[in-house]
Amino acid sequence: MIGARIRELRTERGLTLARLAAAAGVSSGLISQVERDLADPSLETLRKIAKALDLPLFSLFQEPDATAVAVVRREARMQVRSPVGGVVYTRVSPGHGRLEVLQGHLVPGGWSAAEPWSHPSEECVLVLRGRLVVEVSGAEHLLEAGDSCYFDSSLPHRYLNPGTEPADFLITATPPSY
């Protein structure tokens, strides 16, 4: 499904495989394999492709039909997991509109990104369980269950789990650009 969506978005923009690959900083072969569902891209690769397409990450998973009221069933939620860092994101919102809601799960000692990164948005994170460090522009903010943190996502940021238990959290971002 993701491969067909990437191909659709690439062709809508009139991009060749080579141009998208160059813009994303990955090989043309990888883009080709992803589009043909022969390779599962990492979370970092998906971020690069989405950025090259000038779209929020989860729009790569977006269903084409948007409705005024959308119910997202637990078993139908989109999920993205990183092969490194131990983070899993599940999209709670329907994937269209001006607000993105993600449920995050981070293993002990894990991180959302190896290095802080930015995207044009505003973000608020609410810790549901465990402990979470929100690193924004090099400053670390330790949150515990029930704590929240709001910040400008255009500042380099990432999430870290310093605890010995998994951390569960909600992220809201507007506009969606994750």
Report yes or no on 161 lying in a domain.
Answer: yes
Q: State pTM to two decimals.
A: 0.69
42 shares its domain with 92: no
21 shares its domain with 86: no
Residue-wise over 30-42: b if at least 16 C-beta within 10 A, else e? Answer: bbbebbeeeeebe
| Residues 30-85 pLDDT 10s | 999 999 988 888 888 998 999 999 888 877 877 655 667 878 888 888 788 887 78
CATH assignment at residue 127:
2.60.120.10
Report yes or no on 7 lying in a domain.
Answer: yes
Report yes or no on 28 lying in a domain.
Answer: yes
47 shares its domain with 96: no
108 shares its domain with 137: yes
Q: How many domains does the chain have?
A: 2
170 shares its domain with 98: yes
CATH assignment at residue 7:
1.10.260.40
What would the mean pLDDT of 12-40 be, rounded to a whole number?
A: 92
137 band by pLDDT with thresholds 50, 70 and 90: very high
Report yes or no on 162 lying in a domain.
Answer: yes
Place of tokens 């789990």: 161
164 shares its domain with 91: yes
* Cα–Cα distance, 37 to 5 (Å, whole number): 11
154 shares its domain with 89: yes
Question: What's the pLDDT at 66?
Answer: 60
Report yes or no on 158 lying in a domain.
Answer: yes
Report yes or no on 69 lying in a domain.
Answer: no
166 shares its domain with 83: yes
Report yes or no on 66 lying in a domain.
Answer: no
Residue with the larger pLDDT of the pair 123 and 42:
123
Task: Please answer whether residues 122 and 152 qualify as being in contact, where contact means their C-beta atoms are separated by less than 8 angstroms.
Answer: yes
User: Rounded to the nearest 5 degrees, what angle is found at the Cα of 85, between the Cα atoms of 174 and 127?
Assistant: 50
169 shares its domain with 96: yes
Counted residue by residue, the chain has a size of 178
Instruction: Give the structural domain span for 138.
Output: 74-174
